[in-house]
Structure 1
Amino acid sequence: MKGLGIIIDHIDFEILALLKENSRIQWKEIGQKVHMTGQAVGNRIRRLEDMGIIEQYTIAINRVKLIQPITAFITFFVETTDHKTFHDFFKAQEAISEAHRTSGDGCYLLTGHFGSNEELEMFLERLLTYGNYRINLSIGKIK
């Protein structure tokens, strides 16, 4: 695949898929699966990092086991042109795991994880300082 001066091939895509599945997988193990040496895999991974295709390595957290069983998807409608104050607010909130600026319905989509309905309600009360919201609650994670 070639676009914007970036060339990656099917092996790069296989490496990315393996890293997505387990970001702690050893280069040697990846090499066995894609029929390359661990050193060659390491070179490809560094190249993907240098090109900005791999931006970070992360972990998936089981929020239910952390006693945060309520996942809320909050569409937020900002009522001010001062978005920076709102950004500062949600960045400081431990319960918010993702925030996206969106087009269409709403200005932002926030993903939050809460330990109780009371905790969610307190967050939503503070959120009203910045605008209005619509909320959808997860009833079960599929993927």
Structure 2
Amino acid sequence: MNHDVTADSTNRRRWLQTASLGFGIAGLAGLCQQLQAAELSPQQRLLQPHFVPRAKRVILLFMNGGPSHVDTFDPKPALATHAGQKPSEKETRRAKAGYMPSPFRFLPHGSSGVEMSELFPHLSQCADDLCVIRSMHTDVPNHEPGL
């Protein structure tokens, strides 16, 4: 894990990736960005976002120990294709572990078409009001170091 958080790399995404300390620290990162922005040269200011963020509130569902992402908000159709096969590119402590597809159906919801599991019939009615992040990744196959 890289703990080198320099002034150049202080942003919300970096804080969440390296620390996973929650949205309290993300608020602190936002304040730090404002302080840093005051110290930027005019050329550096041109690299800043050209819009003011509109979000007023955020609800973070950090489900460590909760349902699997492949059973909730992150459909992985390739898991069904490779069901039971052992991962070759990653090390695993369980020699018999194989890929396990989700037993739940995923359907597109809302005008955005975001795919969600059948586990959330009521939440799927609000699909256009949700922000689902599917770009997080880790190079470690077990869960805790990936946090």
Q: TM-score range by the shorter chain?
A: under 0.3
Give the number of the structure with larger relative contact order, counting CA–CA contacts within 8 Å between residues 6 or more apart. 1
Q: Calculate the TM-score normalised by the size of structure 1.
A: 0.27
